[in-house]
Amino acid sequence: MYSILKFGLTASLVATLFAGCVTTDNAYTRVAPGIWRGVLELEKFSMPVRDKDTIFTLKEQFREGELPFNFEVKYLDDERFYIEISNGSERIRCDSIQYGRDRSQARDTFNIFFPEYASYIHAGVRGGVMQGEWIVTTKNNYRIPFYAHAGRGFRFTSLNETPVADISGEWATYFGIDTDTPEKAIGEFRQNGNHLEGTFRTETGDYRFLEGTVQGRKFWLSCFDGSHAFLFPGNIQSDGTLQGEFRSGTHHRTLWSARRDPDFRLGNPDSLSVLKPGAQPITFALTTPEGKEVRFPAPEFDGKIKIFTVMGTWCPNCLDEQQFLLEFLKKNPALAEQIKIVAFSFERHQDPEVANAHLLAYKRKLGIPFDLVYAGKADRKEAERLFPALSQVIAFPTMLVLDKKNNVRRVHTGFDGPATSKHAAFKQEFAALMETLAKE
């Protein structure tokens, strides 16, 4: 059973994981219900798991190389349960669970699958303690040690040292100040005493729901959603600016700084990528996972508003955009009849067969009613080859909107998701554009 998981997900297993709760043992009550504190060890520390999260919480608050998050074990009845991960106001329900017995180690084992992102947590369970690792199957031997304790509702620390300042509001931010090409961002923070939530908006998307704490001059934010493992430690400087570090899993680490600046702006997402002068009309011919050929132009697109979205199932911002489109179609049935959507997915799976199996399962789980096609490997240059009429593709997702006469009316880079202050405005602008195009 577990040998398959150690060497990656097969096409059939990818599809199976979306089916729901997979079990080999009915002893679910061995997993303590209620709140848990999980930790991803970005740096491995040599100490027994029974001692972690106790010694360092009391003496040092926590280890700087640890990324904490919270989740809850919720039982549906005496046997069936699911996991709900929390990042600020975000709740991620995980139903794809495998629970059994590892006879070689004489312990219960626990797998929490994130099938949308082809990753999973594998851990041994003993009472109120889990220990194992988070594994991303689309990356070569990408494993991060994991442990968790039941009954601990705090995220970073249970201490409450008085903050030196309230950092609520917007911050002009630069990531990569230790590089030659720093990236602009806007930090959006909401502080209530020691509790801190927020996100960072960039020109290519946002860092989704972050949650953490402010203790004296120090603060920390983190997020774990099955795809991203983000950690943001920082300091409030004496001049009122912020200095910090950004860690994405174990593969990326950089420095950032932020200041108050009401005039600071990001680039307009509708002008970062544009049509090339004299560009040829957009055309494509691809096949869906179901085996249907999708060709443009074609009669099925005639008289329709076209939405072509460049995305990847590994991308949480892309998932936000897909869910937004689904919600829009559901709430606007009259407009939905005039809209034709195709999602072009650029995947990290090396095998197209595995990628298509994953896309088919992804589509079924989300209930996507429009065409979703495998467009190539997860690379912006691949996207530019599919859409040579564009000046560039700098982000997943990127949305192209064409009117009924096949004229490109909007190219929108990135997506301001529900964690940002701009999400409501985007929804209004999108609805107004659809209304306008429907009347033409």
Residue 426 main-chain phi, psi, to 5 deg = -60, -45
Classified by CATH at the fold level, domain 2-150 comes out as Lipocalin (2.40.128)
With 0.75 as the threshold, say if the pTM is over it.
Answer: yes
Domain ranges in the chain are 2-150, 169-259, 284-439
Give 15-69 pLDDT, tens digit per residue.
444 443 333 344 445 689 999 999 999 986 554 555 544 444 434 456 788 999 9
For the domain spanning 169-259, the CATH number is 2.40.128.120
Q: Which residues of the chain have pLDDT under 70?
A: 1-30, 44-62, 102-106
- The architecture CATH gives domain 284-439: 3-Layer(aba) Sandwich (3.40)
The separation between CA 146 and the C-alpha centre of its own chain, rounded to angstroms, equals: 19
Q: How many CA atoms lie within 13 A of 83 on its CB side?
A: 28
pLDDT of residue 54: 45
The neighbour count for residue 387, using CB atoms within 10 Å, is 23
pLDDT of residue 24: 38
**What type of residue sits at position 197?**
E
Exposed (0-12), middle (13-18) or buried (19+): which is 26, by Cβ within 10 Å?
exposed
User: Whole-angstrom Cα distance, residue 192 to residue 260?
Assistant: 19
User: Whole-angstrom Cα distance, residue 96 to residue 110?
Assistant: 11
Q: Do domains 2-150 and 169-259 have the same CATH topology?
A: yes
SS (H, E, C) the chain: CHHHHHCCCCHHHHHHHCCCCCCCCCCHHHCCCEEEEEEEECCCCCCCCCCCCCHHHHHCCCCCCEEEEEEEEEECCCCCEEEEEEECCEEEEECCEEEEEECCCCEEEEEEEECCCCEEEEEEEECCEEEEEEEECCCCCEEEEEEEEECCCCCCCCCCCCCCCCCCEEEEEEECCCCCCCEEEEEEEEEECCEEEEEEEECCEECCCEEEEEECCEEEEEEECCCCEEEEEEEECCCCCEEEEEEECCCEEEEEEEECCCCCCCCCCCCCCCECCCCCCCCEEEECCCCCEEEECCHHHCCCEEEEEEECCCCHHHHHHHHHHHHHHHHCHHHHCCEEEEEEEEECCCCHHHHHHHHHHHHHHHCCCCEEEEEEECCHHHHHHHCCCECCCCCCCEEEEECCCCCEEEEEECCCCCCCCCHHHHHHHHHHHHHHHHHC
Q: Quick check: 406 and 389 in contact, CB under 8 A?
A: no
